[in-house]
Amino acid sequence: MTRADLTERILEAKRRQDLSFGEIASRIGRDRVWLTAALLGQHPLDREAARAVLELLGLGSADEEALLTEVPTRGSGVQAVPTDPTLYRLYEVLGVYGPALKALIHEEFGDGIMSAIAFNLALERREDPDGDRVRITLDGKFLPYKW
Amino acid sequence: MTRADLTERILEAKRRQDLSFGEIASRIGRDRVWLTAALLGQHPLDREAARAVLELLGLGSADEEALLTEVPTRGSGVQAVPTDPTLYRLYEVLGVYGPALKALIHEEFGDGIMSAIAFNLALERREDPDGDRVRITLDGKFLPYKW
Amino acid sequence: MTRADLTERILEAKRRQDLSFGEIASRIGRDRVWLTAALLGQHPLDREAARAVLELLGLGSADEEALLTEVPTRGSGVQAVPTDPTLYRLYEVLGVYGPALKALIHEEFGDGIMSAIAFNLALERREDPDGDRVRITLDGKFLPYKW
Amino acid sequence: MTRADLTERILEAKRRQDLSFGEIASRIGRDRVWLTAALLGQHPLDREAARAVLELLGLGSADEEALLTEVPTRGSGVQAVPTDPTLYRLYEVLGVYGPALKALIHEEFGDGIMSAIAFNLALERREDPDGDRVRITLDGKFLPYKW
Amino acid sequence: MTRADLTERILEAKRRQDLSFGEIASRIGRDRVWLTAALLGQHPLDREAARAVLELLGLGSADEEALLTEVPTRGSGVQAVPTDPTLYRLYEVLGVYGPALKALIHEEFGDGIMSAIAFNLALERREDPDGDRVRITLDGKFLPYKW
Amino acid sequence: MTRADLTERILEAKRRQDLSFGEIASRIGRDRVWLTAALLGQHPLDREAARAVLELLGLGSADEEALLTEVPTRGSGVQAVPTDPTLYRLYEVLGVYGPALKALIHEEFGDGIMSAIAFNLALERREDPDGDRVRITLDGKFLPYKW
Amino acid sequence: MTRADLTERILEAKRRQDLSFGEIASRIGRDRVWLTAALLGQHPLDREAARAVLELLGLGSADEEALLTEVPTRGSGVQAVPTDPTLYRLYEVLGVYGPALKALIHEEFGDGIMSAIAFNLALERREDPDGDRVRITLDGKFLPYKW
Amino acid sequence: MTRADLTERILEAKRRQDLSFGEIASRIGRDRVWLTAALLGQHPLDREAARAVLELLGLGSADEEALLTEVPTRGSGVQAVPTDPTLYRLYEVLGVYGPALKALIHEEFGDGIMSAIAFNLALERREDPDGDRVRITLDGKFLPYKW
Amino acid sequence: MTRADLTERILEAKRRQDLSFGEIASRIGRDRVWLTAALLGQHPLDREAARAVLELLGLGSADEEALLTEVPTRGSGVQAVPTDPTLYRLYEVLGVYGPALKALIHEEFGDGIMSAIAFNLALERREDPDGDRVRITLDGKFLPYKW
Amino acid sequence: MTRADLTERILEAKRRQDLSFGEIASRIGRDRVWLTAALLGQHPLDREAARAVLELLGLGSADEEALLTEVPTRGSGVQAVPTDPTLYRLYEVLGVYGPALKALIHEEFGDGIMSAIAFNLALERREDPDGDRVRITLDGKFLPYKW
């Protein structure tokens, strides 16, 4: 059993239990975006969360629990340029606005990066008379280049 | 003269005038992120903005103005997978959190996408005792799949 | 079972029942192009359509039904440049006429795109003494760039 | 001077004369989509059209005219997967609906292709209270596989 | 069972029966090149040929027969640049002589293509005292660009 | 001056002299396909032919002559998968019929290849009431694998 | 069973035994970095080490032992550009500092390389009040170009 | 003038002055590895260092100084997989030992990365009777994943 | 069973019998390099050799024997740029010395190639006080370009 | 002037002087293969050889001499998979025989590589009644993996 096999198993159990990621996150008391990413194979879960999730999903062998708490190889199995339209729009934003964001980060903070490790992400629905909007907030620590 | 040539000319003039993108944006009264992207060749400027920018930079032939108001071929000249660390972190976020964002957009809104066209983007510095943070907000209209 | 597995299962059942996509679509009362794309793994079906299709095909486990109603990861499993001649001609049209279409969309509507989300597609046979013709109509909402 | 050089020269002259592709096409009496593609380097012009276009644009050396009437190497200089959002949406349609179109062409006509050679294309603005729509019609001769 | 699975099954049966493609073609009375391509998954067989081939090979479930008569997705599973030396030489010919063939097709026929659909192919052994030669004849209808 | 520069210069002179490749070949008494390929940078010319061609085209510096007689780096500057439709159809033939040709070469000759070096190529127009046809004949020595 | 299958089996046994690579290395008395690389399929183990590891992990068929002592095909299964952030940072260092390291190796030693074969690697934790640091030391024999 | 142009100009001046990177670094009092990377276009120089370097090299227009102090787009112009043997060996180390380093970083520190930003690098010659050795030390802050 | 499956089976049997390729070659009286390549799926074996090898390895179904005598699709399953260091060095030689070899083959023989079909290869250990050397000799017939 | 510019300049001078690489090598007393590779930009020349070559070619600025003695970035400008048939055959040999060579190097020497640094290469014409043969000898020191 690889982590990819386990992800598939989790998705099947979630479908069978008819649970949303939001519901799983609120039941075990973790952040929704973080937990979704973790269950999709991008973060390790601590032992307590692993147990709670597996139990909720009706899974839970020792192997599954151990595997779920291991640091995964992130980003494997994701397309370099995503074909799915929902994912592609995020990639497109990077192409159109990436160089502008780089220029402005340097104007605002100097030479460095927005950390993707000391980092969190939120997704919100914002009501709007012209059609509701998706608001995604990336929030990362600025790390200055430091020799 | 192509749009890429013009972008290079603009960057050289900006360097010579020792102006930041933020200063240019506030002088001509446009959004900072939007204008930076436009000057980097990703959006057309309306005639008024084009004139104001070119004058500010000490440029301004009729050709440059006309070219600056044309809809550009976006994203050309950008690497599919960026090598620059500041840009790469944004790409990495997409790899680690993209599938989670897709899943949660569908849970929250149903089948559809966050528009990258009816869309805006903000960059902010958030002070933090553990080190200041970069906050990037993507805000796009939700577009449901509709046959 | 992944969505790709389910697509294969659907194609095998369709072959066994000797049904065309057109017949399936007319039996369950949905648009032919839309339903074909959906059964090939590109759209979720609503629960009612999912049940009707699965019954017609002699399938229908709870798992299959649940999977068929989930938003899929679109475009996965499709070649970036298709090798099949029937598909390739559509890709070739994009290479030969794409930049012209972009230029004319901007002349006609200003800066923006033809939505691929608020979008539909029709395929028609047009009789012609020189040989019948395939007519494909792409019809999408124009979305202006709007900050 | 290569054909790509000539295309750039034509675009610069067109910008200077402040002419749209639609205006050029109606002045010299040719189809708008076809002529735009031709001026962007995808079709040869017959001698008469070449002369008319070059004169209209204030160009017209013997070399330019000769080059404009030569069959070009089509599709060179176009990205395999376009990054420009207006172009990308057309490519996305191919990914989402391509296999469905293939299946339905075969159901409707048997084994074969829609020709991209005996082919024409129209672009139209369709008014709609929910927002005007872009309608693109691909019309190609069906060619059956024939040994 | 996909078409690729069926191709593998056919090759195993052919090996077991110790039949060449040439023998199969002559037994069921079809062109040798065409039938070989079809059995390798590149063309559908009509029902009669499908039955004859499957019987000859000692196969023949209803599923196999139905699958063999479906229009396949051509070219899938073939390398973009072939590594096999026998295949590579054909690809190399394209690199060395392709642009010359294009130029001469246009000189001889005007703007257009050699159809790969209204097309046939022959392979012949030509005796030669300096070593026998392979002669491959591509014969396709000329299709003029026609708007 | 590289060989690619020289090819461009030759094409410009040919355009100016309004000569076809066929005319050049017959004037200097060489095979039309071979000479076209050579002038497009794929073969060296012997000194006599180089002189004759350059004179005919109104070129002829010592450098040009020397460069034209050097063995070129073949295939550079050609796309791995051609986008031009006239070229692409030849590539498509390779995808659809390549494996069949390989199988039949082995049935007919045993293990080995059709040489692309001891090789010639002819292009012919064949009249046909259903539309004239392009006939391309590849004729190469069979080379058996021989340790 | 391929070496990749064996690696997966080893990782599952290690998870079940709840052993770290460091523990395995110290139990069988080998270098930690070297052994981890070997167990991940990048080096052969000598027979003694193979036996000790397999026993420790509760594995140990004759096939597994033989396979573990064979020289593997290194680097297969690793992404050309790694997506995992922990791996990517190492790749990024190569992009940012690679050319500088090359220049300085040549200044220091003359023309040649740092061997990756007569080579070892150490990983160390260095305590630091500003946050502990990872120290990785690459130590390879200098090999001068020598004809 | 782009940053790549400036790098080329710096290398030409360095060659003309017959200076090594080590000499430049010691003359202006900066770290040798850092400065070499900076002069090769991977880091901005502060104004003082920029002036000192340019003066030392006999360069020094205002444009050059301004460009040298701008944050560059890092890693552009570097091959994804380097072909130069001196560089390739570093890439090879990543392929052979990367996954082992990842595993041991996680064993030693938990989930996180070695920063490539709060990072420094040293290159040293270590004498050895069997042939001198290159020792490269990567020293980066450990950054734990922290939501 | 495909040829790749058979190769894996042969490698497993060889491991179990603890035989080297050299031993197998000398037992059945064939060239060592040629046979190793053949057993790794790159050449067909004649019936006699196939039987001898399979018997020696304790294999030998009729299917295996038939498959082993078929001309394989060469080079499939090999990486375009090999990651294994032992293989990569051979590829590196091609990058560093390839253009020189091409130039010298043309100086020595005129326009043409070294055949890779009428070709053999030897590997030898040459003792050397500074460390033994690997000597690989490529020996192929020169084939002049001949129309 | 980059090293690539210099290579082009050298080739033009060589053409004008009508010198072969073999003649240049024998005039300045260096190995023919090594010098050809060096002049094609793959090795630095020592000062004496650089002077001799430049004088022989009628070149010789101080810049050219300095550049010619610098360690170049090897392999840049060479195609990953060569399209030239003379080069491709060498690449093909790698695909067909590479894995066999790896297996036999390990049988003969144990785990390690043939060095491409402590390495030389010879090219020879071997007369043969069936057609002369090209013999290429790769001779490299065996380097055992050594931690």
Tokens for J60?
A: 């010789």
| CB nearest to B98's CB, from A87, A98, A103 | A87
G68-103: per-residue pLDDT in tens? 999 999 998 889 999 999 999 999 999 999 999 999
Distances (CA, A) of D1 to D78, G103, H80: 19, 40, 33
Counting as contact any 3 or more CB pairs under 8 A, the partners of F are C, D, E, I, J
A19-69: per-residue pLDDT in tens? 999 999 999 999 999 999 999 999 999 999 999 999 999 998 999 999 999
3-state secondary structure (DSSP) of residue J33 = helix
E115 CB within 8 Å of a chain D CB: yes
CA angle, residues B15, B18, B24, in degrees to nearest 5: 95
Q: Is the pLDDT of residue H58 over 90?
A: yes
Residues of J in contact with F117 (CB under 8 A): 85
- CB hemisphere CA count around A122 (13 angstroms): 10
Closest chain A residue to H118 measured between Cα atoms? A146
**Average pLDDT over every residue of J61-73:** 96
Q: Is the pLDDT of residue I46 over 90?
A: yes
| H115: enclosing H helix or E strand | strand H112-126
- Contact flag C62-A8 (C-beta cutoff 8 Å): no
Q: Is the pLDDT of residue E78 over 90?
A: no
| CB nearest to B83's CB, from G83, G85, G95 | G95
Q: What is the pLDDT of residue I78?
A: 86
How many angstroms away from the CA of E45 is the closest CA of chain C? 15
Please state, in angstroms and rounded to a whole number, the distance separating the CA atoms of residues A2 and A63.
Answer: 10
Counting as contact any 3 or more CB pairs under 8 A, the partners of A are B, C, D, G, H
| Extents of the domains making up chain I | 3-68, 85-144
3-state secondary structure (DSSP) of residue G90 = helix
Tokens for J37?
A: 């590779």
Q: Tell me the pTM.
A: 0.96
Q: What is the pLDDT of residue A139?
A: 98
Residues of I in contact with H79 (CB under 8 A): none
Question: What is J3-68's CATH superfamily?
Answer: lambda repressor-like DNA-binding domains (1.10.260.40)
CB distance G142 to G116 below 8 Å = no
Chain position carrying tokens 């749009």: B3
Q: pLDDT over 70 for what percent of chain H?
A: 100
Measured in whole angstroms, how far is the alpha carbon of residue D101 from the centre of its chain? Answer: 21
C28-39: per-residue pLDDT in tens? 999 999 999 999
| CB nearest to C116's CB, from D21, D89, D108 | D89
Q: Looking at this predicted complex, what is its ipTM?
A: 0.96
How many angstroms away from the CA of H23 is the closest CA of chain G? 10
Q: What is the pLDDT of residue E22?
A: 97
3-state secondary structure (DSSP) of residue D113 = strand
Q: pLDDT over 90 for what percent of chain I?
A: 97
Q: pLDDT over 70 for what percent of chain C?
A: 100
Q: Is F126 left (phi over 0), alpha (psi -120 to 50) or beta?
A: beta
Chain position carrying tokens 């050219």: J64
Q: What is the pLDDT of residue B94?
A: 97
Q: Which of J116, J147, J130, J3 is nearest to J68 (CA)?
A: J3
Please report which confidence band the pLDDT of residue I133 belongs to, taking 50, 70 and 90 as the band edges.
very high
| CB nearest to A147's CB, from H31, H73, H143 | H31
Chain position carrying tokens 């000398």: I26
Tokens for G101?
A: 């390291």
- Asked whether this chain's domains B3-68 and B85-144 adopt the same fold, the reply is no
G49-67: per-residue pLDDT in tens? 999 999 999 998 999 999 9
Please report which confidence band the pLDDT of residue I141 belongs to, taking 50, 70 and 90 as the band edges.
very high
Strand partners, I129: none
Q: Which of A7, A65, A67, A12 is nearest to A41 (CA)?
A: A7
- Contact flag B93-A33 (C-beta cutoff 8 Å): no
How many CB pairs below 8 A link A and C?
Answer: 28
Burial of F78 (0-12, 13-18, 19+ CB in 10 A): middle
Q: What is the pLDDT of residue B78?
A: 86
CB distance G134 to H142 below 8 Å = yes
**Average pLDDT over every residue of H113-137:** 98
**Amino acid residing at B70:** E
- Contact flag I85-G116 (C-beta cutoff 8 Å): yes
Using CA atoms of J49, J50, J51, J54 in order, give the dihedral in degrees to the nearest 10.
120
CB distance B84 to H76 below 8 Å = yes
Show Cβ contacts of residue C135 under 8 Å, excluding neighbours closer than 6 positions. Answer: C122, C123, C124, C125, C126, D137, D138, D139
| CB nearest to E92's CB, from J85, J95, J96 | J85
Give the pLDDT of chain B (147 residues) as one tens digit per residue.
Answer: 899 999 999 999 999 999 999 999 999 999 999 999 999 999 999 999 999 999 999 998 999 999 999 999 999 888 999 999 999 999 999 999 999 999 999 999 999 999 999 999 999 999 999 999 999 999 999 999 999
Pick the CATH number of E85-144 from 3.30.1160.10, 3.80.30.20, 1.10.260.30, 3.30.930.10: 3.30.1160.10
- Contact flag I71-F147 (C-beta cutoff 8 Å): no
Please state, in angstroms and rounded to a whole number, the distance separating the CA atoms of residues C40 and B25.
Answer: 48
Active site residues of E: 89, 92, 115
**Average pLDDT over every residue of D119-142:** 98
Counting as contact any 3 or more CB pairs under 8 A, the partners of E are C, D, F, I, J
Please state, in angstroms and rounded to a whole number, the distance separating the CA atoms of residues A66 and A76.
Answer: 20
Q: What is the pLDDT of residue A100?
A: 98
Please state, in angstroms and rounded to a whole number, the distance separating the CA atoms of residues H51 and H64.
Answer: 9
How many angstroms away from the CA of F76 is the closest CA of chain D? 15
Q: Is the pLDDT of residue A101 over 90?
A: yes
Closest chain E residue to D31 measured between Cα atoms? E147
- Contact flag J118-G71 (C-beta cutoff 8 Å): no
**Average pLDDT over every residue of I35-39:** 98
| CB nearest to F89's CB, from E21, E99, E115 | E115
| CB nearest to F145's CB, from I117, I143, I146 | I117
Is J89 an active-site residue?
yes
CB distance G80 to H16 below 8 Å = no
* Chains B and F: 3 or more CB pairs within 8 Å of each other: no
Counting as contact any 3 or more CB pairs under 8 A, the partners of J are E, F, G, H, I
Please state, in angstroms and rounded to a whole number, the distance separating the CA atoms of residues G39 and G59.
Answer: 13
How many angstroms away from the CA of F126 is the closest CA of chain C? 21
- Contact flag A81-D85 (C-beta cutoff 8 Å): no
Q: What is the pLDDT of residue D77?
A: 80
How many angstroms away from the CA of D26 is the closest CA of chain F? 28
Chain position carrying tokens 């740029």: I81
Q: pLDDT over 70 for what percent of chain F?
A: 100
Please report which confidence band the pLDDT of residue A17 belongs to, taking 50, 70 and 90 as the band edges.
very high
Q: Is the pLDDT of residue J77 over 90?
A: no
Please state, in angstroms and rounded to a whole number, the distance separating the CA atoms of residues D42 and G45.
Answer: 60
Is C89 an active-site residue?
yes
Measured in whole angstroms, how far is the alpha carbon of residue H128 from the centre of its chain? Answer: 26
Please report which confidence band the pLDDT of residue G35 belongs to, taking 50, 70 and 90 as the band edges.
very high
Residue ranges of E 26-85 with Cβ closer than 8 A to chain I: 79, 83-85
A118 CB within 8 Å of a chain H CB: yes
Is B26 an active-site residue?
no
What are the φ and ψ backbone dihedral angles of C101, each rounded to 5 degrees? -60, -40
What would you report as the CA-atom Rg of chain D, rounded to the nearest whole angstrom?
Answer: 18
B4 CB within 8 Å of a chain D CB: no
Please report which confidence band the pLDDT of residue D78 belongs to, taking 50, 70 and 90 as the band edges.
confident
Please state, in angstroms and rounded to a whole number, the distance separating the CA atoms of residues F82 and G81.
Answer: 27
How many angstroms away from the CA of H17 is the closest CA of chain I? 29
CB atoms within 10 A of CB A28: 17
* SS3 readout for B56-73: HCCCCCHHHHHHHCCCCC
- Contact flag J95-E83 (C-beta cutoff 8 Å): yes
Please report which confidence band the pLDDT of residue H78 belongs to, taking 50, 70 and 90 as the band edges.
confident
